[in-house]
């Protein structure tokens, strides 16, 4: 104990030397290499901040708060640039033979106030999202967990209802940051303390968050900037101007319609990553006319995906094949036949379903995603050629997710996607899933889902997920026209290595991963 | 001078009466806002949880915040708190509403004061000069320029100013957020572009009203008398015409200042200025009732107070208004 405290006080160099000696898991950049260097400040302009923001991980919204808290805290596991799960605050982890009991060994690390992180804190951090009284958006993801217990100070054991080979990935979800526990075992999120490379100095909701580097961070090759400021800038033009005038060093979500102008500015670099985010158009498979798979196929062939990619996304995306599994996922099936725009084929499927023409109502709102109404209108035009009349019903943006999505039989939607096939499929495509937005129920798919979840043999899993993607694509009730790229921009004062593709801003971890150029 | 004391008493009575009516208005507004927010589809639990709302988490959220209680009971709890000076806590992030408001209100008042300090003298002066040189190129020029400025939407003016003065010339920052602990000079520099945007938006209104009121008075017989006795044109306008034209000018100035405090959310968004408007819009989106209510009360109070001030000043400068026929 005394030795560790001595190290933390002696500052980074001593700490780094010691950590390196202790053997490190992340072999990326090292001190000898040119590139990352300590120092400097970093100002980030991000959208999605609101005056209602809180640092409670249960009700996080995907704005500057999450980016900041992922720098203040660690997860048990993080996703690296290759999309692989690597241990973070967990030193190591292992499943039992059925992938049902998962044992995580917690590393030696301190919270911002010097306290040592223990298994108790980890248990509290997860229990915060479980139980009847939780308000957590991540509650569903932990429904599979039967019990979480601490085994001594450094070991946490998760007991699942059934085997899940991907459970480690799940713990990288931004909700599951590790914060200290209170005396009574509940989570002390109000403290704002974590084991990450930065401490929270100031948080004015919807305005700015200020972070300061910790000298005793356990990762030697992360957290380069001395101080970091995250500003909430909701207006895309204001965000771009702030970048151009040097008020901030990096922004996310530049306006795609003027991005060519931004790109022309000297010193500005775009960072683009094809992740798992995608637009969806769910159809209720248990309601006419969508209960006939031929109608679903007709609609899948009546949408012009290339046009959406070009006009809505300005090319910053990728055509999708009605399956939510993206090239960034491990078991992406690249060789499935592509559903393309083909009015004749669409007519053919309509005939099969016994329709001469078809009139549908499509609910749309830009709350689903920016440009959703335009996308619906483009679909209206392309579907007309196939004899399908789509009436675009413009819904209010306010309350869209509670009043329209999951309620109307055919609407526009959006998913950030998930790092694992199992997570994505069980969340939205499994029978009875809370968010099964298309009410799809395919027996073979549901069987495969359970089998693949507990399968530890990579080859067999790949085969199963391949078949499932085929099923979703051909039989599923959701049109998935395109994957959306994460686009960020930064100036020449900051630099970075290969960026992760699981979120924008280098997997939301730019605060600790990027460095001064 | 003996009339002074007699005159101030009815004035004082009028102020008292107006303040009483103002309080009643505030109460009615609080009821209306409460009902209006309650009528909006969805509640804070659904808004905050967004796409990830499930029936159980929404129910847990409502339980935690006491939203499962009936509407009248919630209103009563809120108003009793207000009467004891407790604005309550934000439903969204649990922070005291008073804390949330304090910094924002300061920023908003600063920006409004900054803009008004430029706009009011500028527009009154321009209005006087335009009245003085009625029909001249100056009169027409000022009218065309100020009317053009008011005709553009404010975000357009804001973007144009930002483009030239910030991105092209680099004289002023494009973001007005002053940071955590700014100096006055820094605040003035950072808030310059939004202040100028607001000045361009409000000047025309006040300038035109000044010009119209003064021109109106300039046709009166006593102005002709002043001219006959040989007073200079500037003296006629400032000493004879302006005091008699003050009432409508004060009214329009008060309305514009009220707008500067309550209606500048677009300018706040474009220049990333943390003011009250943004706070209120965010809170309405989230159905964060205590914050919406507090903002609405502040805005309503600003309007009521400025209107009372305008009336009192108008009467003080023109005692005839105290005795309506």
- If we measure between CA atoms, which residue out of A208, A276, A269 comes closest to residue A482? A276
Q: Is A237 within 8 Å of B92 when comparing Cβ atoms?
A: no
Domain range for B121: 102-318
Does residue B136 surpass a pLDDT of 80? yes
| The predicted structure's pLDDT at residue A474 | 94
A210 contacts chain B (CB < 8 A): yes
A320 and A364 share one domain:
yes
A291 pLDDT exceeds 60? Answer: yes
Report pLDDT digits (tens) over B240-256. Answer: 888 888 888 888 899 89
**Strands A227-232, A208-213: pairing kind:** antiparallel
Average pLDDT rounded to a whole number, residues A430-455: 90
Over residues A256-278, the pLDDT tens digits come to 888 888 888 889 999 988 888 99
How far, in Å, CA of A70 to CA of A239, rounded? 22
Report whether pLDDT(A6) > 70. no
Query: Has residue B158 got a pLDDT over 90?
Result: no
Q: Do the Cβ atoms of B282 and A133 come within 8 Å?
A: no
In a domain, B107, yes or no: yes
Half-sphere exposure of A262 (CA within 13 A, CB side): 29
How high is the pLDDT of residue A262?
87
In whole numbers, what is the pLDDT of chain A averaged over residues? 87
**pLDDT of A355 over the 60 cut:** yes
CATH code assigned at B128: 1.10.3720.10
| C-alpha dihedral sign at B58, B64, B65, B70 | positive
Distance (Å, whole) CA A401 – CA A426: 20
User: Alpha carbon B35 to chain centroid distance?
Assistant: 24
**What residues of A are in contact with residue B271 (Cβ under 8 Å)?**
238
Give a yes or no: residue B61 inside a domain. Answer: no
Residue A434 is predicted with a pLDDT of 78
How crowded is residue B117: how many other Cβ atoms within 10 Å of its Cβ? 12
Q: Are residues A185 and A205 in the same domain?
A: no
Tell me which of A159, A191, A223 is where a domain ends.
A191
Nearest partner of A171 among A200, A214, A138, judged by Cα = A138
Model pLDDT, residue B188:
86
Determine the length of chain A: 517
What pLDDT digit, counting tens, does each position of B283-314 carry?
A: 887 778 888 888 888 888 888 899 888 888 88
Quote the strand ranges of chain B, DSSP E.
none
With contact defined as beta carbons under 8 Å apart, do A492 and A15 qualify?
Answer: no
In a domain, A423, yes or no: yes
| A346, A447: one domain | yes
Domain presence at residue B73: no
Give the integer Cα–Cα distance in Å for A162 and A169.
16
DSSP label of B236: I
Are A137 and A239 in a shared domain? Answer: no
Residue A4 lies in a domain: no
Cβ neighbours, 10 Å, residue A471: 17
Q: How confident is the model at residue B135 (pLDDT cuts 50, 70, 90)?
A: confident
Q: Are B119 and B93 in contact (CB under 8 A)?
A: no
Whether residue A387 is found in the same domain as residue A367: yes
Looking at the fold, whether A360 and A466 belong to one and the same domain comes out as yes
pLDDT at A29: 42
- Tell me the three state secondary structure of residue A485: strand
Judge contact between A273 and A501, C-beta under 8 A: yes
Positive or negative: CA dihedral A431, A436, A441, A442: negative
Rounded-to-integer distance, Cα B155 and Cα B139, Å? 27
Reported as a single tens digit per residue, the pLDDT across A137-159 is: 788 888 889 999 999 999 999 99
Q: Across the interface, which of A52, A136, A399 has its CB nearest the CB of B90?
A: A52
Question: In 3D, which of A56, A49, A124 has the Cα closest to residue B65?
Answer: A56
Whether residue B165 is contained in a domain is answered as yes
Q: How confident is the model at residue A17 (pLDDT cuts 50, 70, 90)?
A: very low
CATH number of the domain encompassing residue A396: 3.10.105.10
User: Is A136 an interface residue toward B (CB < 8 Å)?
Assistant: yes
- Chain B hits for A251, Cβ within 8 Å: none
CA distance B270 to chain A (A): 6
Q: Is B94 close to A54, i.e. CB distance below 8 A?
A: yes
Of B45, B52, B272, the CB nearest to A233: B272
The residue among B267 and A148 whose pLDDT is bigger is: A148
In chain B, which residue's Cα lies nearest the Cα of A202?
A: B180
Structural domain containing residue A498:
27-48+196-270+489-516
The answer to whether residues A84 and A202 belong to one domain is no
pLDDT of A416: 85
Sequence-ordered strand ranges (E) for A2-128: 41-46, 77-79, 85-87, 90-95, 101-106
Nearest to B282 among A52, A138, A235 (CB): A52
Instruction: Tell me: pLDDT of B279 over 90.
Output: no
Identify whether residues A456 and A512 lie together within a single domain: no
Our CA-based measurement puts residue A483 at a distance from the nearest CA of chain B, in whole angstroms, of: 19
Cα separation, A103 vs A122, whole angstroms:
12
Substitution target in B53, B57, B268, B288 with the highest count of A β-carbons within 10 Å is B57
Task: Looking at mean pLDDT, say which of A61-70, A189-198, B103-112, B285-294 comes out highest.
Answer: A189-198
Which among A134, A234, A242 is the nearest to B57, CB-wise?
A134
Q: Express as a percent the part of chain B with pLDDT over 70.
A: 92
Tell me if B183 is assigned to some domain. yes
Q: Are strands A250-252 and A41-46 parallel, antiparallel or unpaired?
A: parallel
Complex ipTM: 0.74
What's the average model confidence in pLDDT over B86-96? 80
Q: At what angle do helices B97-132 and B289-317 cross, to 10 degrees?
A: 30
Percentage of chain B with pLDDT > 90?
9
Q: Which of A191, A212, A233 is the last residue of a domain?
A: A191
Give strand pairing partners of A159. Answer: A101, A147
E strands present in A115-217:
145-151, 155-160, 198-204, 208-213
A59 lies in some domain = no
Here the CATH number for the domain that contains residue A211 is: 3.40.190.10
Residues A203 and A282 both lie in one domain: no
> Average pLDDT for residues A30-52, to the nearest whole number?
78
How many angstroms separate the CA of residue A55 from the nearest CA in chain B?
8
Whole-angstrom Cα distance, residue A101 to residue B151? Answer: 68
Give me the number of domains chain B comprises: 1
How many angstroms separate the CA atoms of B92 and B65, rounded? 9
Whether A290 and A246 map to the same domain: the answer is: no
Q: Do A244 and B64 touch (CB under 8 A)?
A: no
Instruction: Note whether A218 and A266 are same-domain residues.
Output: yes
Same domain, A308 and A324: yes
Number of domains in chain A: 3
Q: Which of A131, A160, A191 is the last residue of a domain?
A: A191
CATH of the domain at A86: 3.90.76.10
- pTM of the model as a whole: 0.80
* Residue contact B175–A238, C-beta within 8 A: yes
Of A210, A241, A396, the CB nearest to B174: A241
């Amino acid at each position: 104990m005394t030795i560790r405290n001595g190290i933390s006080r002696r500052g980074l160099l001593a700490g780094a030397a010691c950590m390196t000696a202790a053997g490190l898991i992340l072999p990326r950049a090292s001190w000898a290499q040119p590139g990352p260097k300590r120092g400097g400040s970093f100002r980030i302009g991000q959208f999605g901040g609101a005056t209602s923001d809180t640092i409670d991980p249960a009700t996080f919204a995907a704005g500057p708060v999450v980016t900041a808290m992922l720098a203040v805290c660690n997860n048990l596991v993080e996703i690296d640039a290759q999309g692989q799960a690597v241990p973070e605050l967990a030193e190591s982890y292992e499943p039992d033979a059925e992938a049902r009991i998962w044992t995580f060994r917690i590393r030696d690390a301190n919270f911002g106030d010097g306290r040592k992180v223990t298994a108790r804190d980890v248990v509290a951090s997860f229990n915060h999202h479980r139980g009847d009284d939780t308000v957590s958006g991540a509650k569903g993801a932990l429904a599979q967990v039967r019990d979480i217990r601490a085994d001594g100070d450094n070991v946490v054991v998760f007991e699942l209802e059934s085997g899940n080979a991907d459970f480690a990935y799940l713990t990288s979800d931004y909700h599951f940051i590790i914060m200290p526990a209170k005396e009574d075992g509940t989570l002390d999120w109000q403290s704002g303390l974590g084991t990450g490379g930065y401490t929270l100095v100031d948080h004015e909701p919807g305005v700015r968050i200020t972070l300061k580097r910790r000298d005793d961070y356990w990762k030697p090759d992360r957290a380069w900037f001395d101080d970091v400021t995250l500003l909430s800038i909701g207006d895309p033009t204001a965000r771009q101007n702030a970048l151009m005038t040097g008020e901030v060093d990096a922004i996310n979500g530049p306006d795609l319609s003027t991005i060519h102008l931004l790109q022309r500015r000297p010193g500005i670099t775009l960072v683009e990553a094809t992740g798992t985010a995608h637009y969806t158009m769910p159809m209720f498979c248990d309601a006419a006319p969508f209960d006939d798979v031929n109608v679903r196929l007709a609609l899948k062939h009546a949408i012009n995906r290339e046009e959406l990619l070009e006009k809505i996304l300005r090319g910053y995306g990728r055509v999708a094949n009605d399956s939510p599994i993206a090239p960034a996922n491990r078991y992406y099936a690249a060789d499935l036949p592509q559903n393309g725009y083909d009015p004749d084929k669409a007519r053919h499927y309509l005939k099969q379903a016994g329709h001469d023409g078809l009139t549908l109502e499509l609910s749309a709102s830009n709350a689903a995603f920016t440009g959703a109404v335009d996308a619906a209108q483009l679909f209206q035009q392309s579907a007309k050629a196939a004899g399908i009349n789509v009436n675009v019903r413009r819904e209010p943006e306010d309350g869209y997710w509670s009043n329209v999505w999951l309620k109307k039989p055919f609407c526009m939607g959006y998913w950030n996607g998930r790092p694992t096939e199992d997570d994505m499929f069980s969340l939205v495509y499994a029978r009875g899933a809370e968010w099964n937005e298309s009410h799809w129920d395919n027996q073979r798919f549901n069987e495969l889902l359970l089998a693949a979840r507990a399968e530890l043999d990579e080859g067999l899993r790949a085969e199963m997920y391949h078949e499932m993607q085929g099923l979703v694509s051909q039989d599923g009730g959701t049109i998935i026209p395109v994957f959306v790229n994460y686009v960020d921009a930064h100036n020449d004062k900051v630099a970075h290595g290969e960026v992760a593709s699981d979120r924008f801003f280098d997997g939301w971890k730019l605060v600790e991963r990027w460095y001064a150029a | 001078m003996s009339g002074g004391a007699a005159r101030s008493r009815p004035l004082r009575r009028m102020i008292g009466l107006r303040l009483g009516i103002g309080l009643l208005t505030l109460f009615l507004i609080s009821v209306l806002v409460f009902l209006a927010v309650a009528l909006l589809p969805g509640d804070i639990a659904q808004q905050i949880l967004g796409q990830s709302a499930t029936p159980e988490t929404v129910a847990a959220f409502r339980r935690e915040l006491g939203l499962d209680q009936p509407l009248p009971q919630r209103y009563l709890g809120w108003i009793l708190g207000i009467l004891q000076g407790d604005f309550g806590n934000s439903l969204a992030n649990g922070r005291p509403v008073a804390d949330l408001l304090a910094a924002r209100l300061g920023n908003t008042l600063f920006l409004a004061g900054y803009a008004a300090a430029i706009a009011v003298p500028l527009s009154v002066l321009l209005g006087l000069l335009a009245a003085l040189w009625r029909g001249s190129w100056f009169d027409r020029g000022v009218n065309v320029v100020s009317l053009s400025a008011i005709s553009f939407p404010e975000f357009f003016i804001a973007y144009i100013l930002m483009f030239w003065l910030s991105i092209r010339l680099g004289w002023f920052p494009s973001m007005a957020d002053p940071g955590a602990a700014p100096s006055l000079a820094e605040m003035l520099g950072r808030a310059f572009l939004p202040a100028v945007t607001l000045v361009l938006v409000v000047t025309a209104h006040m300038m035109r009203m000044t010009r119209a009121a003064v021109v109106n008075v300039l046709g009166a017989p006593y102005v002709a008398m002043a001219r006959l006795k040989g007073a200079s044109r500037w003296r006629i306008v400032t000493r004879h015409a302006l005091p008699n034209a003050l009432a409508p000018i004060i009214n329009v100035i008060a309305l514009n200042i009220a707008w500067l405090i309550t209606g500048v959310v677009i300018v706040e968004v474009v220049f990333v200025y943390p003011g009250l408007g943004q706070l209120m819009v965010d809170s309405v989106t989230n159905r964060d009732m205590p914050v919406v209510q507090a903002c609405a009360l502040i805005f309503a109070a600003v309007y009521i107070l400025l209107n009372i001030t305008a009336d009192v000043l108008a009467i003080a400068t023109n005692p005839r208004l105290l005795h309506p026929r």
